[in-house]
Structures are given as structure tokens and as C-alpha cells.
Structure 1
């Protein structure tokens, strides 16, 4: 059970944000419910950042790859489950998702370069060598995409931290 209580009925700014989420995806995932119940402005900011990311230069598969790698490194079971499902919905195959979570090659050199780069960022508090920077550029990622990689990293870090604090109850299929 999540640590932070979520009221059964939202009002005011929280109700407005929940209505937007329900319209977009059909329901309010527990992580959004928890954030919105106690910080509707924080939820709005996160959703705006995700909207900017959606309009950015990365494919949905790349976005989900980034979010899955970061979530796996920090051990957020909620986000691993959510982004495994969302990754599948974006077109990533179950074997690719498994390999992403396990840090194994996916068979796609460009995706593998992204995974390595993001895993390095997550494991080194964002420190990358000149060689690692050169490798991600050599894989074909543009300067604009590096900005979007940073934004994807930031948005997932927020939800990872919140879910770890809250111990958010899982409402996505669990990943073994």
C-alpha cells in the first residue's frame, strides 16, 4: 500500500489535471494520483515536460528505452513495470525489453548505444567521458536528441524518486 494517502475524490486543480489524464489515457495511474493529490502543480509540470518530450526529436521507442533503463538502474519496480508496458505499446518487442532491463544487446546497434549511454549517466551521476560522448554521437544521436535524452532522464528521475518515497502501489503488470 502506498505511503501517501490519495483521496477518493479529487477537487480543484487536482481534479482538473486528473480529468486531462483520464481523457488522454483512460485512467489515472497510481503514481500520477499520488503526485497530484499532494502536488498538483508538480504533476502539471511533469506532464508539460512529457508533452515537450513527445514533441521532441526522440522516437517513442527511444523515450521508453531511456525511461526503462533509468528505472532499472535505480530499482523503481513501479516505473520498470510501467515503462515495460509502455515500451511494448511503442513497438519494442518483449525480448528487446528483457534485454534492455538486463543490460544485454538488443540487436539494434543504435539502441544499444543509447542504452549504454543512459546506463552510464544513471550509474555515474551524469558524468560521461569524451569517449562516451563521441560514441553516442557516432551512433547518430543529434545535439537536439541529447537535449531530449536529458529531458527524458529528468522526467523519469522525478517519478522514480517519488515512487521510491511513496512506495507506490503497482497498477501495471509486474515484471519478473
Structure 2
């Protein structure tokens, strides 16, 4: 098996070193996923720009999309990271697990978002009219739909990177479903 190594600060470009410094200042550490992106001179900055773009979705809603997408794609790294972030955004352990399964019985709006996200990822965007109708009836708009797809795309990038490389998970490991 090929072993993929996560670079340290001294092994990345000067531009990426500055990003590492900002991440360390803001988060207290540089997550391995971000460090791995830094092997490429522009990927880390590009990825962070995508991840930090202005969105019509609240942080809590983005975590729903992140959790569901990471579960469908089987990415243990992102399941673990977003379990931590989901709890930081107000979800309980039980709610995080339920969201990862693609439902949220505790909140109809979150449920519609989780079901839509799961259907989009599993079916490559081909989603039933009923799931879309439920999403819109829950109070979401077409503008929100665009943002859901952008967040899914962001998460697919990181899911695929980790699924390909399997570098060390530097978050508490999320429980299996």
C-alpha cells in the first residue's frame, strides 16, 4: 500500500507556511487535511476560499450537509471532524449520529436538508420531485439549493482526498453508524 505523508510547515511553500501560521493561530493546530492540501502550492488557499465563501446557509446547516455527505462517501476523517464541529454548532451526540444517517426526526427543516443532501450525493444530483418539494416546503429557496450543492462539492473534495490517502485522523474518531 502507498503511504501518504502529511507535510509539516517547513516542507510547504512560503505562501502555505503563512496559511499554516493563520490556521494555527485560529484553530490551535493545522488539521492534517489542510496540511495535506499544502503539498500543492495553490490547493490549500483555493480550498479554504471555497470553504469560507459567503453562503445563505447558516453554519449549523452547512454542518448537516458536511455530516451527511461525509457519511455517504465513507470518509472517516470528515465524519470525525464534522462530528466535533456539529457539536460546536449545537447538535447533541445523538443528533449528529441521526443526521449522518440522512434524517433528523428532531427538526423538520433539518430533516428536509439532510434528506435532500443524502439524495443528491447518492444519486449524483438526480433527486425526486418529492424530496425537492419537501426541501422547499421546509422554507428553503433555490438560492439555498445552490449553496447546498456548493457545500456538497466542497465536502466531496475533502472526502475523496482522505479516502484516497488515509492519512492519520487528528480529531476524536467519530463513532460508526
TM-score by length of 2: 0.90
1:174 maps to 173
Query: Is the 8 Å Cα contact of residues 9 and 20 (structure 2) preserved in structure 1?
Result: no
Match of 1:13 among 5, 15, 22: 15
User: Matches of 1:66 and 1:167 in 2, distance apart?
Assistant: 22
User: Matches of 1:138 and 1:2 in 2, distance apart?
Assistant: 47
CA deviation after TM superposition for structure 1 residue 28, in Å: 0.5
CA RMSD of aligned residues (A): 1.7
Query: Is the 8 Å Cα contact of residues 2 and 169 (structure 1) preserved in structure 2?
Result: no
Cα offsets for 1:44-84 (capped at 9, x unmatched): 111111111xx321111110110010000010000000000
1:76 maps to 75
Q: After TM superposition, list the pairs within 5 Å mapping 1:36-51 onto structure 2.
A: 36=38, 38-51=39-52
2:91 equivalent to 1:108: no
More helix by share: 1
Query: Is the 8 Å Cα contact of residues 70 and 157 (structure 1) preserved in structure 2?
Result: yes
User: Matches of 2:118 and 2:48 in 1, distance apart?
Assistant: 24
1:23 maps to 25
TM-score by length of 1: 0.91
CA deviation after TM superposition for structure 1 residue 2, in Å: 5.8
Cα offsets for 1:77-130 (capped at 9, x unmatched): 000000000000011111110111233433101100101000001110111133
2:58 equivalent to 1:56: no
